Structure 1
Amino acid sequence: MSLVDKLVDGLAFGWGKNKEGQQNEALEAREKKVPTLTKYGYERPGGGACGWVEAPVEYQATSRQTAGLWPFCGAASSPLVGAPLGRNTINGQITCGDPISLYIKGIVSAPSGFIMALNGRGKSTIAVRWALSLIDAGFLILVLGDLKPDYAGVVKETGGQVLTVAPGLSAINPLDAGPAWALLEKLPPKMQAAQRSEIHNRRLNTLRGLVELALGDVLTEKKNEGTVLSMAIRHASEKAESEDRQPLVSDVQDVLRDPPRDIIDMLVFDPELDEKTRNRKYFELTETLQRGLNSLGPEGPFGDVFCRETTEPMRLDRSVSFDVSAIDEANGTLRAAVQLVCWSYGQAGASALKDLASEGLIPERHHLMIMDELWQVLSADEQLVHRVNALTKLNRTKGLGQVLITHSMKDLQLSTPALTSIATGFLERSSVKVFGGLARNEMADLTQVVPMSQKEQDLLVSLSAEGGVDPKTNRTLPPPGRGRFLLKLGETTGSPFYMNLTAMERKIHDTNEAWANSMAAHRLEREMA
């Protein structure tokens, strides 16, 4: 070994050691210093390590389309977007989804959902899960007519506001412009004009629905009753606004009792008639309308619910539930009327938020509106389908999500094909559909609106069976379809899943609370027998 070689070895391996030992120690040292390569990158500063790896682009297609890509393709699964609902009963995969999350991700075309299943299958548990998940994601919930109540506990536990509406307890003014009325004057003139027009249409839609409910008949344009009501509401609103308050039903009555000249001229066309004759003809034409408005007073069938100022304004910064459970179940007409007004009032507040937020006047917020027990409104008066239709058509453009809930397709089968078409349109326009147990005779009507395979139909029928009795313990068993549903997004194949409630969900959402003591006592009697 030359002197140069010894010098290089000494510098490389240190002096005073044999060459082989020096080389081994150097290699060990180098191996210790070499960073480990992981799937996240090299474990050293600047090595490219990161806490996540971006998923590759995935495509979903039929086996015919992707046949040439085999084996570089795999089975498709449900998108993990939105509220976790449960396990797919076929392959065990997690099933997720809610109307707002799926719409934001572009998976569905509208933030609207429809839940349909027989009693006791857990319809409202789906809505509760959606509510909790969306509240956690920063959205707000509007329960517009909580009849049992199913959602008051959820709203309370998440810091929301529960508003009670019932005769003798609290009122909700059907002509109330909404909780954001005081802020609307800060909007630009064009936005103000648009909001005022929307408020007027909502007032007309709501008050006309109440009058028709009270009369049990439809206002007709043969007597220009709808037009007269619209003009009267406009006059009453202008007077109330000049006094810095919201118009009441009594203000509309005052306008019709002492009508402005423009209303009389619109109704009575003959200018040659004397004043007395003109007035007599006017009152003949408006008699039915005025009788309907009189019935909304404190002595009418609805009590004092609609003839006073709104008792407690709705909050705009938190979730809200309108608790109408104090109204007797036997009074279906009043329940339907209160639901209609709550839907209108709640939508008024949520709708105004969009324009106010766009101008930076308030933080941007979005709501999911839950409209449960749709059947009660439609069974009270089929003509209310028009009012519901008007309330639900523009929710997407206003930044609102919505969920409609009912029991069966029979709830949507009304007396005429035209009314039925409007009602089934609610289901047809809903991008996210969840079905529980349904009867076999429902399938023909259901598949006319929602395409379903025979297997999907058979699944829903199987989930409609009633519970039995355990022969060993003598305990009543729940229906086999409770907590089991089929999720359909658009017209795609549905995902069957099973949903389990958490302990907290069971605590805040007990739809059998009224029966809890009786059921417990009955179980004790059977165990002692």
Structure 2
Amino acid sequence: MGKHKAEMHMITWEAPGLSRPERRSARREAQKEAARLRKQWNRDSGQNNVKGLARRTFAAGGEARARNLRASGLISRPEVREASTFTLAGAFPWVSQSGLGTVRGFIGMVTEGGGMWCVDPWECYNRGLITGMSCVLIGTVGTGKSTTTKAWVKRMVQAGRRAVIMSDPKAEWVIVAKGLAPDGVDPEITIGVPGKVINPLDPGKRPATNQSGDALDDHEWVRMVRSRRASVMKTIVQVLSKQRMSGDENLALTQAIAAAAAAKGEDLASMTPQTPIAQAAVISPTIPDVIHHLYNPSEEDAEVTQGAGRSVANQLRQLVDGDLAGLFDGPSTVAMNEDLPMIVFNTRPLGELSVEARKIASHCVSSWAESVFTNRDSGQRIAVYEEGWENMDDEPALERMVRQWKLARDYGLFNILILHKLKDLFRAGDEGSRARELAMSLLADTDIRVVHRQKSDQLAATGEMLRLTASEQEEISRAPKGQALWKIGEQEGRMVKTIRSKLEGELFDTDHAMAAA
């Protein structure tokens, strides 16, 4: 009896490829077979009843009969039908939540449904899921944001991208970079150690094309280098003086930089996109050279600037005689190997310096690194800004970051800004100030937002700034370590658990000091 009952309830899929008459004939045969099974079922039930066994028991509604909406109905004899998983998903919904359709940058599993979660910014951009190539990743201490970032970046690098860690104040990324680097090659550039000098006035790498895709001519290249040098020097002076420069001071500084380059015999026009970076840096002007020409301008320059260069030179002397002496005031003794999978600027030795000194160091490192990889020839690269909150009260740093955020697509860059909480953006200045507008512009230009657990007093601000639903706010308020809400463009947010291997767990461990204690 059980065998016949099972046969009667098997689901039938019509075989593809049959003509309509053939399908009708097959259906009639199936109906005949169903009738035969029904008779067999009734015969077996009657025999059991004769033996004194109960035929069946029924629910309170009584026996299932035809057309009383209680019978399960009979389905024709099983046949094979092929269908795609997309079609079958309509018949069996809510079994597993889908990912984005990208295959690189594996993160982990979606907590609701267990779907695999992969986020590759370049794939997302090509699919139209995002329009901006930047990400903000937030989470309080101990929520797993460091592991998530390292796992994500490492896997994108293993998929063919390159990465630059713009600042590593805890030296956590160094071991990851060394694990990805070829044997015998050091991917670490330590900042703040005697003998390790970076000259922020190095010209960097000459691009082959401009932003329009046309060949970059000599005039554009010279203008690009001069603009970058003037920008970083102006920023340094404003950080040291804590005020904006006057027009005369700006002019005096620009003329001193040009005079220092001419005195060195630098010929930018002779550089080509194939010129080695280290070779181009040999005759670059240095900050002491600029200070010398600020103190000793030509008669014509002195008359035009009315001696404004002396006050600028006095400010810059702090780089030669102060906390940063020997770090940025000479020819570069380190080189940036742009072919490495990952390069890390280890800024841990700067931790004991003053806030102003750290800001200046950040500007010098950023300008030097960006002169190499912010061009269309460097390929697809990831720039990670650890401890991004330190830059939020630095208006020149915000200006540089906003500019890079907006040009990321032209350069093939993907920027990751790491914060503890979104309210760190409020450090930029009062509401309505230019600094606050720049900070909000950074957030507006990020199409990928990753939110780890937030404290209760931060939930309202986080939800408002990211336009989170009530359920999403509740999810991040109780998310365990290693889980985060991922918001990709206008897509629905997904709670994702980061998965790491045993080896990755050892590479990403940031609690070794506490464990040893």
1:218-269 Cα offsets, whole Å, 9 max, x none, are 2233x432343233223323333438611111121122112235533543xx
C-alpha deviations, 1:254-305, integer Å up to 9, x for none? 22112235533543xxxxxxxxxxxxxx22x3343222211111x2132221
Determine the structure 1 residue equivalent to 2:245.
Answer: 220
CA–CA distance in structure 1, aligned partners of residues 446 and 214 of structure 2: 33
TM-score normalised to structure 1 length: 0.70
Deviation string 1:97-136 (CA, Å, 9 cap, x unpaired) is 1433422443211221111111121222222122222212
Match of 1:459 in 2: 475
Q: Secondary structure at the match of 2:443?
A: helix
Residue 166 in 1 paired to residue 182 in 2?
A: no
Label 1:141 to 1:149 Cα distance change in 2 as closer, same or farther (>3 A): same
The counterpart of 1:385, out of the listed 398, 414, 421, is 398
> Is the partner of 1:224 in helix, strand or coil?
helix
How far 1:204 sits from its partner (Å)?
A: 2.1
What is the rounded CA distance, in whole Å, between the counterparts of 1:237 and 1:514 in structure 2? 47
2:501 pairs with 1:505: no
- Identical counterparts, % of pairs: 21
Choose from 293, 306, 309 the match for 1:286.
309
* 2:418 aligned with 1:405: yes
- Structure 2 vs 1, CA of residues 169 and 190 (structure 1 numbering), >3 Å: closer, same or farther? closer
Is 2:116 the partner of 1:77? no
Partner of 2:202: 176
Tell me the residue number matched to 2:174: 152
2:405/2:445 contact within 8 Å kept: no
Partner of 2:385: 371
Query: Which string of whole-angstrom CA distances, capped at 9 and with x for unpartnered residues, describes residues 411-457 of structure 1?
Result: 11022332112112212211111111123333443344321111112
Q: Does 1:260 align with 2:298?
A: yes
Taking the TM superposition and a 5 Å limit, the aligned residue runs for 1:289-304 are 289-297=312-320, 299-304=321-326
Distance 1:508 1:71 in 2: 44
Q: Once the 2 structures are TM-superposed, how far is the Cα of residue 142 of structure 1 from its aligned partner?
A: 0.7
In structure 2, the residue corresponding to 1:308 is in which secondary structure?
A: coil
Partner of 2:255: 231
The Cα of 1:174 is off from its aligned counterpart by: 1.4
- Aligned twin of 2:116: 94
The Cα shift of 1:385 comes to 2.3
Map 1:51-450 onto structure 2 (within 5 A).
Answer: 77-81=98-102, 82-159=104-181, 161-178=187-204, 180=205, 190-215=216-241, 217-221=242-246, 223-242=247-266, 245-261=283-299, 263-267=301-305, 282-283=306-307, 285-297=308-320, 299-318=321-340, 319-329=342-352, 331-352=354-375, 354=376, 357=377, 365-379=379-393, 381-413=394-426, 414-416=428-430, 417=432, 418-450=434-466
Cα offset for 1:407?
A: 0.9
Residue in structure 1 matched with residue 495 of structure 2 by the alignment: 496
Structure 1: unaligned runs, 5 residues or longer: 1-36, 40-52, 61-69, 268-281, 358-363, 464-480, 519-529
Cα offset, 1:154, TM superposition: 1.4
In angstroms, what is the RMSD of aligned CA positions? 3.2
Superposed CA deviations along residues 317-374 of structure 1, whole A, max 9, x for unmatched, are: 112111111223564433333222222222211124x2xx4xxxxxx63211111111
- Cα pair distance change 1:236/1:509, threshold 3 Å: same
CA distance in 2, matches of 1:444, 1:196: 49
CA drift of 1:156 comes to 0.7
| Distance in 2 separating the partners of 1:146 and 1:54 | 51
Query: Which deviates more, 141-150 or 240-249?
Result: 240-249
**Does the 8 Å contact 1:176/1:247 carry over to 2?**
yes
Give the secondary-structure state (helix, strand or coil) at the position aligned to 2:112.
Answer: coil
Instruction: Give CA deviations for 1:60-84 in whole Å, capped at 9, x if unaligned.
Output: 9xxxxxxxxx769888622131311
Whole-Å Cα distance in 2 between the matches of residues 135 and 410 of structure 1?
Answer: 31
Q: What CA distance in whole angstroms lies between the structure 2 residues aligned with 1:314 and 1:331?
A: 26
Q: Which residue number corresponds to residue 485 of structure 1? A: 484
State how far apart, in whole Å, the 2-side matches of 1:170 and 1:71 are: 64
Residues of 2 paired with 1:235 and 1:54: CA distance?
74
C-alpha separation in 1, matches of 2:316 and 2:438 = 27
**CA distance, structure 2, for counterparts of residue 56 and residue 517 of structure 1:** 50
CA contact (8 A) 1:89 1:498 kept: yes
Find the residue that maps to 1:396 and give its secondary structure.
helix
Do the aligned partners of 2:238 and 2:245 also contact (CA within 8 Å) in 1?
no
User: Counterpart of 1:197 in 2: which secondary structure?
Assistant: helix
* CA distance in 2 between partners of 1:90 and 1:415 (Å): 39
Contact 1:95–1:495, Cα closer than 8 Å, also in 2: no
2:133·2:413 contact (CA, 8 Å) conserved in 1?
yes
How many Å separate the matches in 2 of 1:401 and 1:459?
27
Deviations 1:160-192 (A, max 9, x none): 6111111424121111222x35999xx997344
> How many pairs align?
411
Cα distance change, pair 182–441 in 1 and its aligned pair in 2 (3 A): closer
Letter in 1 for 2:429: S
